[in-house]
A = this chain, B = another copy of it.
Amino acid sequence: MLKIAIVGATGIVGQQAIVSLLGHPWFKITKLVASERSADKKYIDALRDASGSIRWWCPEELPGHIANMVVEEAASFDPKSVDIIFSTMDAGPAKELEPKYAKTTPVISTASAFRYEADTPILVGGVNMDHASLLAVQQKNRGWKGFISPKSNCTIVGLVVSLKPIMDKFGVKQVVAISLQAMSGAGRTPGLSAMDMTENVVPYIPGEEPKVETEPLKILGKLSGKTIKNAAFGITATCTRVPVMDGHMVCAFVQTGKKCSPEDVKKAMMNYGKDFAELHLPSSPKHLIDVTDDPFRPQPRVDRDKGGGMTVTVGRIRKDPVIENGIKYVCLAHNTKIGAAKGALQTAEYLVKHYLKLVK
């Protein structure tokens, strides 16, 4: 069993990372790491707020052996004490601490701090596993024994997974993407206000649209020598927040390179990702994409947990009446599973087995 540290363990993504790792066949959580405020406390006590309530946000119960672990402080944590580090810190501390850890130890990160570095891939399960070899460039450039492998933004996961088979088969020339994003994406302390989100929609999420308009181009880009050549199409996005707990929906309008029917697109999506699924990584679902013919689907509450929250559901694939070679559809991905901790775990599994070859 490989020893895992979760850094940022008290936050909501850290909690989800803990849950994702419970009963894992290869990984064992041996360290919980957080900020000074939580250091040297038992984990369950570090979760208490001012009123004494335990702020454990996951529906799964907090196991006793985790509850009783003593939290270490991120600033003084020894990365060599574990085999792999899951970093779920905010961008600020991530920027400072992840490189320190990476000197000796692989870091799988849900933070955005290193996503846009030229020598750093943004790996999305099944989409761009070949980009993993860029980590060797990163290691060499920076003189690290470990590396930093950041997760993508949570909103784009459904989009890149569904665009990939379209791009491979028919090419993509332009994408219009409108997200209807769940509230859990805004975190928990304090998170969104109940009165703002009751029977309401907020049509703006600070900082989100630029990410949706750029990250997919890197993820869908081509590795060429020591760098990634971005995919050569444009994305325009409007990102909205809707009163949904979990599950980001994206309405996509795609101009393809060559003409294709909705049936063609459906077939491409259903055939997609078989190679990756056959690696049988513990966190991978049977199907990366599930295409539904029910026009009322995908729905966030109903479809988000498909494949353990790791399957992207696509529905309403239809010919666009206006855009040349246009296809429109709706996709849904669980923002806190495939879009965050569990997606990061899947990447870790891939890297551990196929890049680091620590598991056979």
Residues on A close to B: CB < 8 A?
A: 51-54, 57, 59, 61, 174, 176, 178, 180, 183-184, 188, 190-204, 206, 213, 234-236, 238, 240, 242-245, 249, 251, 253, 294-302, 305-306, 315-316, 320-323, 326, 328, 330
Q: A142 to B249, alpha carbons, bound, how many Å?
A: 48
Contact partner, A199, options B191, B245, B316, Cβ 8 Å: B245
Residue pairs across A and B with Cβ atoms less than 8 A apart, 19 shown, are A53-B294, A53-B296, A57-B195, A59-B302, A176-B323, A180-B180, A180-B242, A188-B195, A192-B193, A192-B194, A194-B194, A197-B198, A203-B249, A203-B298, A213-B322, A236-B253, A236-B328, A238-B253, A238-B328
In chain B, what residue has the closest Cβ to A331? B203
Contacts A199-B199, A203-B330, A204-B316 supplied; 12 other A-B pairs, CB < 8 Å: A51-B296, A57-B195, A176-B176, A176-B322, A178-B178, A183-B198, A195-B245, A197-B198, A199-B300, A201-B244, A201-B249, A238-B253
Contact (Cβ within 8 A) B240 A243: no
Inter-chain CA distance A330–B52, complex, in Å, is 19
Q: Which of A52, A176, A201, A213 has the most CB of B within 10 A?
A: A201
Partner of A193, one of B54, B191, B203, B305: B191
The complex places the Cα of A350 from the Cα of B302 at a distance, in Å, of: 33
Contact (Cβ within 8 A) B253 A59: no
A193 and chain B: residue at smallest CB distance:
B191
Number of identical protomers:
4
Q: How far is the CA of A298 from the CA of B243 in the complex (A)?
A: 15
Q: Are A198 and B243 in contact (CB under 8 A)?
A: yes
- Are the CB atoms of A316 and B202 closer together than 8 Å? no
Chain B residue numbers with a CB within 8 Å of A198 are 183, 194, 197, 199, 243, 245, 301
Nearest B residue to A326 via CB reads: B236
- Name A174's closest neighbour in chain B (CB-CB): B322
6 closest residue pairs by CB, A with B: A234-B322, A194-B197, A192-B194, A200-B301, A236-B322, A178-B178
* Chain B residues within 8 Å of A178, by CB: 178, 238, 251
What B residues does A298 contact at CB under 8 A?
Answer: 203
Contact indicator A321/B190 (Cβ below 8 Å): no
A184 CB contact (under 8 Å) in B195, B203, B297, B321 = B195
| Chain B residue, CB-CB nearest to A187 | B195
Measured between beta carbons, the chain B residues less than 8 angstroms from A315 are 203
Complex: A322 Cα to B249 Cα, angstroms: 21
Residues of B near A295 (CB, < 8 A) are 51, 53, 204, 206
Within the complex, the shortest CB–CB distance from A294 to chain B, in Å, comes to 5
Q: Are A199 and B294 in contact (CB under 8 A)?
A: no
B301 touches A199 (CB 8 A): yes
Write the nearest CB–CB distance from A240 to chain B, whole angstroms: 7
CB pair B238 A251 closer than 8 Å: yes
A11 CB, nearest partner CB in chain B, Å: 14
Shortest Cβ distance from A295 into B: residue = B204
Kindly state the separation between the CA atoms of A295 and B180 in the bound complex, as whole angstroms: 16
- Are A193 and B190 closer than 8 Å at their CB atoms? yes
| Nearest-CB residue, chain B, relative to A293 | B52
Decide if A192 touches B195 in the complex (CB within 8 Å). yes
Q: In the complex, what residues of B have CB within 8 A of residue A197's CB?
A: 194, 198
- The interface residues of chain B lying within 8 Å CB-to-CB of A236 are 253, 320-323, 326, 328
Give the chain B neighbours of A53 by CB distance below 8 A. 294-297
Considering the chains assembled together, what is the distance between the CA atoms of A200 and B295 in angstroms? 15
